[in-house]
A and B are shown apart, each in its own frame.
Chain A
Amino acid sequence: METLETRENGVVILSVSGRVDAANAGSFQQQLLGLVEAGEHRLVLDLAGLDYMSSAGFRVLLVAAKRVAAVHGKLALASLQEPVREVFEIAGFSSFLRIFSTREDAVAAV
């Protein structure tokens, strides 16, 4: 897993690439929750480079979505690859996470 943090119009964009599994989900969680705790309440996850994510990564997203909701923040996801998007459907996460096909749309939505 590699991550890159950028900022656009007051929105923090965390780009995640490679694979998220139980071995690195802890550092993904630290980074994502770290942003929320640092007061960043408008967040976009750009997943264009994410090839694979197991339930360990979904768990991180669920925890993050709950934290963001608790501070009345906004979180959106962008550019999911098809196999990863299908796992989002299986997880039922598309019902509470907003997913956009482009990063621009996600940034505009938060």
Chain B
Amino acid sequence: MREVVTFALACELGELERLSALLDEFGERNGVTGKPLFDVKLALDEIVTNVICYAEASQAIVVRLTRAEAELVIEVEDDGRPFDPIRVAAPDVGAPLDERRVGGLGLHFVRTVIDELAYRRCGNKNVLTMKKRL
């Protein structure tokens, strides 16, 4: 069982719902359901949202999914401004309401639900690789 699928997403927020539907279909074909699928959907949504909102990419965002034996490998590629999500500081999730700052949660979700995260700048592209153990 080793399926590799590539999606191209336009830099529009409306693509998020389509991405979710594509992941449901991929998950169904590859036996990835329930919590692992939810986690992958959340992580990809957060990463793609960041690219759409902040990267100023000129071409489509490319998402590549590989169903390996015991893990799902997710690669996201965009030609936007260099951005390494791994270097972003984590929010203080223990802060009381009046000290809680808005923002930074998306990448915190990604780092929590994904097992391995690697970033590289490849020419004019950001390439983020996420691994989710199944």
A interface with B by C-beta (< 8 Å): 19, 21-23, 52, 54-56, 58-59, 62-63, 65-66, 69, 83, 86-87, 90-92, 95-96
Contacts of A90 in B (CB 8 A): 93, 108-109, 112-113
Sampled A-B contacts (30; CB under 8 Å) = A19-B17, A21-B17, A22-B16, A22-B45, A22-B49, A23-B14, A54-B16, A54-B42, A54-B45, A54-B46, A54-B49, A54-B109, A55-B46, A55-B49, A55-B106, A58-B105, A59-B105, A62-B100, A62-B102, A63-B102, A65-B97, A66-B98, A69-B97, A69-B98, A90-B108, A91-B108, A92-B93, A92-B94, A92-B95, A95-B96
Residues 46-89 (chain B) with a chain A CB within 8 angstroms: 46, 49, 52-53
When the two chains form the complex, which single residue of B42, B97, B102 contacts A87, counting CB atoms closer than 8 Å?
A: B42
**In the A-B complex, the 8 residue pairs with the closest CB atoms:** A92-B93, A55-B106, A23-B13, A96-B97, A55-B105, A22-B49, A83-B38, A21-B16
Q: A23 near B17 (CB under 8 angstroms)?
A: yes
Q: How far is the CA of A95 from the CA of B94 in the complex (A)?
A: 8
Q: A21 near B96 (CB under 8 angstroms)?
A: no
Q: How far is the CA of A87 from the CA of B112 in the complex (A)?
A: 10
Q: A96 near B100 (CB under 8 angstroms)?
A: yes
- Decide if the interface of chain A is mainly helix, strand, loop or mixed: helix
When the two chains form the complex, which single residue of A19, A56, A83 contacts B20, counting CB atoms closer than 8 Å?
A: A19
Q: A52 near B106 (CB under 8 angstroms)?
A: no
Residue of A nearest to B43 (CB): A54
Given A52-B41, A54-B42: A22 in contact with B53 (beta carbons within 8 A):
yes
Q: How far is the CA of A59 from the CA of B105 in the complex (A)?
A: 8
Contacts of A66 in B (CB 8 A): 97-98, 100
Contacts of A87 in B (CB 8 A): 42, 109
Contacts of A95 in B (CB 8 A): 94, 96
When the two chains form the complex, which single residue of B94, B96, B106 contacts A54, counting CB atoms closer than 8 Å?
A: B106
Residues 1-49 (chain B) with a chain A CB within 8 angstroms: 13-14, 16-17, 20, 35, 38, 41-42, 45-46, 49
Contacts of B123 in A (CB 8 A): none
A96–chain B nearest beta-carbon distance, Å: 4
Given contacts A62-B100, A87-B42, A90-B113, 19 further A-B contacts (CB under 8 A): A21-B49, A22-B53, A23-B16, A23-B17, A52-B20, A52-B42, A54-B46, A55-B105, A55-B108, A55-B109, A62-B102, A66-B97, A66-B100, A87-B109, A90-B109, A92-B94, A95-B94, A95-B96, A96-B96
